[in-house]
Chains A and B, each alone.
Chain A
Amino acid sequence: MIGGADRHGSPLWPLVVQLAMLSMTAIGGGIVMLAPDVHRIVVEAHPWISDQQFAAAYAIAQAAPGPNMLYVTLIGWQIAGFAGAALATLAVVVPPVVLMLILLRIGHRRSPGTLGRTIRAGVAPLSVGMLLAAGWILARASDTDWRSGLVTAATALIMLRTRINPIWLIGAGALLGVAGFA
């Protein structure tokens, strides 16, 4: 079911162009927030992949290590194999990175003044608040009963009180899930 499908000519370039355009509108949370738009492109507007393939790609990318936006990589792979995977990833990554590099270069040349530093220091609490909100939203989605809620709370507590490598906690979470606790 997953794999390089070639249904209507090569959808690779239209996919790359549309993803690249979408990537520049992915503000605050990146392409993950734009999953509905990606869905519209690859499932609804074009017969490139099925609804089930989209859902599988999204779930696998959430479970896999790395940035969650890599579901786009998997969609590219479903549509056009390895070239699709590579180009779809680059399509969503390159435009924002080019913008970032341009801004860094401008900022570098002007040498960061007091104003720039004040702006960044000012918005830092907002950024922490929004990260907390992202954790909260994920908790609301994944904590289906009191037990998984307890796992989330215990994880947060352990992270705050110890310097354990979080990978162990992820492993413990997987075991607890298999054991039927979370």
Chain B
Amino acid sequence: MVTADTLKPARRGRGIRPTRRGIRPSKGYRAFQVVNAVILTGVVIVTLYPFVNIVARSMSDQASIISGEVNLFPKGFNLTSYEHVMSDPMFWRNYRNTVYYTTVATGVALILTTTYAYVLSKRHLKGRTFLVAVAVFTMFFNGGLIPNYVLVTTLGLKNSVWAIALPNAISVFNLLVMKAFFESLPVDLEEAAAVDGLNTYGILLRIVLPLSKAIVATMVLFYAVSFWNSWFSAFLYMDRQELFPVTVYLRNLIAGSTGAEFAGAIAETDEAQVDATIKSVTIVLTTLPILTVYPFIQRYFVSGIMLGAVKG
């Protein structure tokens, strides 16, 4: 529990300005600080609770779940469901697909976004406004589901990684973030390189990109997380189970349940009981990679969003 007391040491640490706006905090303000801490603690609890609950469910036995006893801690601790899911070859196959699709799609997206952002960052370029408008207009108007579906199907991209990678190759938001970054680079270096006889491609590869490692890393993360999490393209364009990414594996697992329940089969059959933990386990196992990298990637996302906001 966070109280006003826990706020004190750091307040001392900040030195001359105990609070930013006043010399001495009023009684009302101190009361507000306590209320504020309580509210924010509430936000933290509400955000984290579903995660804790799902982990607890995944490690409990069926009977405790069905009787509605599992809450914060596992009841009747056992990991048999983990063994069950992890011994399913299709689960691992779909996981490998996710890795493969994410890698290919991120690669394609990175190349197209970088080249276009670089072109758009050149202020002197004739027709630049038009090139920017071509991209920005698509943020506010798009063809919609059906024409896209017809197009991808007609192009024969179904059941291939290209059905996922190509239609989502440039996110305009990411494009604008990268353009803003390129515009902020000093022009002297590029001019010097041009005088030394480097052509545009050489300047981009040898001068600009080495200076842009941070933004390239941010872009890789933006795209990789979005492709890793995506499911609908694969759901739409992949016909066979061995081609699904793990998100579609999970989707079919949880959708199957509503179907069963809808058919009136809420009755506590053995299958339904097994279902309860299997679902939780699969959710935990698909969330785990994101949770593992989250602490390291979060700040890149935040700085990327800020950079985009300056321009966007």
Q: Is B a genuine binding partner of A?
A: no
The interface of chain A, by Cβ under 8 A from chain B, is: none
B interface vs A, CB < 8 Å?
none
